Structure formats: structure tokens, C-alpha cells
Amino acid sequence: MPDAQGFSYAHWTAVSSASFTLLLVGEDPVNDPASSYFPSKGTISHVEVELNTIAGATKADIAATWDSAGTFVALPTTNVTIATAPGAGTSGGLIISADQIQYKQGAGATKKQLAIWVKLDGGTANARARVYWRR
């Protein structure tokens, strides 16, 4: 039987250069019915962050932790250039490879979710995130 695959999702959240903003990625049947919680164990493939209403930002620091307090690192902070679409300078995104990180869920309120942290190099934007996984 092939591996099950899916993604977890966090809906639009305002982000800025002031500090890291938490996007708690999990199941969101209202905004993305195809999303689901992380299975109890599996492998993370990559993180995708979409941005819109970008004002004054060209790069972003992205990190992921296993908890919403930002204590247990899943992916270290990575600085990436925001790729903008041709003709749409206020929209863009980025993708970070997770290098097939394997995980097994722990306990706690966020055990089926992953915390994605976003901080811009300047200005503001709205961000949403998808984390792709397989088991």
C-alpha cells in the first residue's frame, strides 16, 4: 500500500517585521477542506508560505517548532527571498524543503499541529501556510 499523503494548513494571518508571528498549522475544514491534522507519525516534505498584500518586504525568516511556545525546533530559522508573481508585486510566496524530517507526535494541546513562525525583513503582509507530509 502506498504512503498516505496530505497537508496541514493555516489560514491568512497578518505578519510583519516587528516580531515572529505564529501560524498554527493543522486541519481547517472551513478554509481548506482538503487539509488534515498531522498523522501520529510520518515525514514532513516541505513548507509552503503564501503572502499577499506585501508592503515593504522582500525577505522573510521562517521557522517551525513542535509547540506553539517556540521551544522545540522542527526546522531552524531560514532566511528566504520572497518570490513574487509576474505582474503581481504585492503577492508572492516561498517554499522550504524539510529534507524529509521524520517525526512522532508527542502529547499536549498542539500534538496534531506544527507551529510555523514568520517574520518579514520590513513592512507587512498576510501569510498562510501549508506543510506537506506523508506517512
Task: Measure Cα distances from 1 to 4, 7, 8, 40, 135 in Å.
Answer: 9, 19, 22, 18, 11
C-alpha cell at 58: 522582500
Range of the domain at 112: 5-134
Q: Is the pTM of this model over 0.75?
A: yes
Tens of pLDDT, residue by residue over 10-46, are: 999 999 999 999 999 999 999 999 999 988 888 889 9
**CATH code, 112:** 2.60.120
Q: CA–CA separation, 118 vs 121, rounded Å?
A: 10
Instruction: Please count the structural domains in the chain.
Output: 1
Pair 35, 24: CB distance under 8 Å: no
Can you give the pLDDT at residue 73?
87
Tens of pLDDT, residue by residue over 75-119, are: 899 999 999 877 777 999 999 988 777 777 766 667 788 899 999
